[in-house]
Amino acid sequence: MKIGNSSAYYGQIGLQRSQEKLDSAAYKVAQAATDVNNISQQSAQETANQEAPAHEKRYGSTVQDGLIETNSGKLEAQANAKTIEAADGNIGTIINIKA
């Protein structure tokens, strides 16, 4: 009898996608931090023009987006890990029943 384990497979795929999402979110946060140097030069010019500093316009939202995506990726990874754990438990139960 062939025992399919598609839930474990989909859990693994989900974990890989969660990792990709975490990598992307980390890149966004790191990129925003490196962009601060470029933005700080613009801030000096905008202060003279009485505009809001550029880092308040762009920096906060990019970092916040990255952190939100990080938290979302973490929760998705935990959910996928639980899916794999449940699939493993089901396979163990089926093997015990067949034995």
pLDDT digits (tens, 9 = 90+) for 53-65: 555 555 568 888 9
Give residue limits of the domains in the chain: 7-94
Chain centre distance of CA 13: 14
Q: Which residues contact 16 (CB under 8 A, 6 or more apart)?
A: none
The model's pTM is 0.64
Q: What is the pLDDT of residue 75?
A: 96
DSSP 57: I
| C-alpha dist (Å) from residue 46 to 57, 62, 75 | 12, 20, 40
Average pLDDT score over residue span 75-82: 95
Collapse the DSSP code of 1 into the 3-class scheme (helix H, G, I; strand E, B; otherwise coil) and give the result.
coil
pLDDT digits (tens, 9 = 90+) for 1-46: 455 568 889 999 999 999 999 999 999 888 887 776 666 656 655 6
Dihedral angle, C-alpha 86, 77, 68, 38, nearest 10 ° = 180
